[in-house]
Structure formats: structure tokens, C-alpha cells
Structure 1
Amino acid sequence: MLHIGALEKLVHELSRLPGIGPKTAQRLAYFILKTNNDYPEHLSEALLRVKAEIHECPRCFNYTDSDLCRYCEDAHRADDSICVVEEPADIMRIESSGAFRGRYHVLHGAISPLEGIGPQELKIKELIERIDEGIKGNGPVIKEVILALDADLEGDTTILYLAKQLQGKGLKLSRIAHGVPIGSDIDFIDDRTMGRALQNRVEL
């Protein structure tokens, strides 16, 4: 136990961050204490700025400090395809591949009944509204929706729900392929990944 009120509070708050356990939180807290006097102020300023200046894009729900995010503002991107992701960070992973030049839609999570997260907690209604606006002629006509969600139970549940909701809207609906990573050894592939690789096999 630390028995120092301010330090215990800092460790507690740091340990609430994803992937940060008590020991890591304690190391970070001591680092903040040992570093030069300006660092805590800079860290505090950065935290306050990110909360004050960054908000959700009203169209795709990515994070931005402008009226619209950079991907919604980009006039050179295709308007007829939407890639649906769970979190804003997923967009950067897709963009780094250079394989997609359409629009995005961020759900901000996945359906997880065990955690009390249902469709109403996600940006699913807004996705359907975007698609319906195009059908009514009040916005870009969406022809394809790509579901780039995690290959886990929550991701699969969300994909099944979205597929049902989007039926009958004249869309090409697809999900990203999951399988053996390039450069990996089959000996080290788990059963679930191998099963997905076989399901998503391509003809030569």
C-alpha cells in the first residue's frame, strides 16, 4: 500500500485505463513524480484539450476537432461504399492498408448482452438512417456496406444483427476476411483462425 492520498488517487485513475493494471499504473505514477516539473502540467493540459476540442463527427462518428472528420470532408473518396468499424482507432488500421477509399461509420462498440450493450447503445440507428437517406434521394446512394468488425463473439453478433436490419435495402453486404496472416506459420495458428481461413478460401 502507498498510504499517500494523492499518489493512491493517481494510481487508481491510471489503473482505470484499458490495458493498465495496478503495477503498471504504479510505475506510471512514479514516472510522473520523478520527471521534470513541466511534464505533469503538459500532461494535464493535453488531457483537458482533448476533452475540450475533440468531438464525434456528426456524420460518421469518428473523432475530430473540425465540423466533420477528414474522411467525411475528403471529396475524393467514394460516396457509395461505407466501411463499418467498432472504434475510431480501427479506421487508422484500415487506412494504413490503402485498400479502401470509401466512407466510414463508427459504431462505438459491439453488441454484448453480458455487458449490457445492446443495439440502442451503438450508432446502428444512425447507420440505417444514412442508408435510408440515400434511398429517399436525400443523400449519397449507398451501394455497399463492408463490416470490418472484430472476429469474436460480440463482432459476430453485431454482424448478424446488422445483416438482418439491412436486408431488403438493395445493398451489397460483406465482411472483411479473417484467416491466416501473411508470413505466419500454420503450426502456430489457433483453431478458430484456421476455421475462418478455410471458410474464406479463394479459388486459384
Structure 2
Amino acid sequence: MLHISALEKLVHEMSRLPGIGPKTAQRLAYFILKSENEFPERLSEALLRVRAEVHDCPRCFNFTDADICRYCEEPHRSDESICVVEEPADIMRIESSGAFRGRYHVLHGAISPLEGIGPKDLKIQELLDRVNNGIDGDGPTIKEIILALDADLEGDTTILYLTKQLQGKGLKLSRIAHGVPIGSDIDFIDDRTMGRALQNRVEL
């Protein structure tokens, strides 16, 4: 690669994206450099726009550009069940299965002591507040929490922590069944497997 400071900076930033290694980052950078004149401007505008307009939903912490996200706003969904996921992208995988019609809660990660991520770094307290608001306040009564987290060490650690925090609140606690392969990410699961995992969830 030529020692061009601006190009090296672009490759470096591209390589920070998930799943993008140095060679792929270099190919992307060369594509942008050789593309039509309008493409870099459109890409830059799209990045700035999504940064300015997209924010966390104040209820479930999914991404949205409105006051609340479409899943919190939809009136025909059940308020009695909440499906807890790690990332906003996981919601689309569950929605495509058509097996769940309740509400969502996004943690924005999983507990990972090796990476210095603890419960306070996630939207766990906000989940507990939603549950407690239904028990002690005037919020909707929540009857079931479905934990749809990745089937890896971090996901299991987070599920154990949430189970301890939510026990004794009169809730049905369940996690998606192990139709999801151990060690895989939820966003790589096909629709049929996701639907079956939700339908065959196991009570904790």
C-alpha cells in the first residue's frame, strides 16, 4: 500500500468496523477512492445523517429516528411479555420469525468481565425499572421476560445475572431454546430456527 496519510487513515478507520479485516478495509478504501465523484459525498452525508437523526428509544433502547420506536408505538403488541436482546439488530432477526408479538428491551451488549463490561454498562437497571413500574407503579403489568441472548459465555453470564435480579417478582422467566447453536451470534440464525427457538423456549 502506498504511504499516503489520508488513505492510510481511511483504511485504519474501515478496519475498526466489525468483521472488517485489514485487507477488506483496504479494498473498501480503494473502492471509495476510485468511485464516482458523488459517492464519497453521499456516504459522508449518510454517516452524518444517521449520527444526527438516529437515537435510542427511551422505552426499549432500540434505534429509532422518532420519539419512540415502532415496536413500542404499535398498539396491537402485548405489554405482558418483554423479549430482552443484546443489540438492536437482534430485533429484526426475531421479527422475521413472526413468533413474537410482545415488546422488546435492548441491553446494548452483554456482561463481559474480560472486556470490562459490567451490569452498570448495560441497560439492565432500565429493564428492572420497567418491571418494577408495572408492579409498584402505574405501568403495564409484565408477566413474562424472554431472554434472547447469544448462546455464548457472555450471553450465559448475562442471563444468570438477570435471572437473579428478576426472581421473586412473580414473573415467568424463559430463554430461547437451544435450537440456536452454542457459540453462534443471534444475527446469523435463519428464520425457521429462530421461530422454533422462541416457540420452544425453556422456563428458568
Q: TM-score range by the shorter chain?
A: 0.7 to 0.9
Tell me how far 1:180 sits from its aligned partner: 7.1
Q: What SS does the aligned partner of 2:83 have?
A: strand
Partners of 1:153 and 1:6 in 2: how far apart? 39
**Corresponding pairs, count:** 185
Higher relative contact order (CA 8 A, sep 6+): 2
Corresponding residue number in structure 2 for 1:52: 52
Greater alpha carbon shift after TM alignment, 104-113 vs 135-144: 135-144
Distance 1:14 1:180, change over 3 A: closer
Distance 1:172 1:33, change over 3 A: same
Greater alpha carbon shift after TM alignment, 129-138 vs 96-105: 129-138
Corresponding residue number in structure 2 for 1:168: 168
Q: Is the 8 A contact 2:175 2:201 kept in 1?
A: no
Partners of 2:2 and 2:110 in 1: how far apart? 37
Between the aligned residues of both structures, percent identity stands at 84
Distance 1:201 1:171, change over 3 A: closer
> What are the residue-to-residue correspondences of 1:87-126 with 2, within 5 Å?
87-126=87-126
Q: TM-score, normalised by structure 1?
A: 0.88
Q: Structure 2: give runs of 5+ residues left out of the alignment.
A: 182-196
* Rg larger in structure: 1
Give 1:56's aligned amino acid.
Answer: D
Q: Structure 1: give runs of 5+ residues left out of the alignment.
A: 182-196
Per-residue displacement from partner, 1:98-127 (whole Å, max 9, x unpaired)?
000000000000000000000000000000
Q: What SS does the aligned partner of 2:147 have?
A: strand
Partners of 2:98 and 2:91 in 1: how far apart? 11
Q: TM-score, normalised by structure 2?
A: 0.88
Distance 1:164 1:14, change over 3 A: same
Corresponding residue number in structure 1 for 2:61: 61
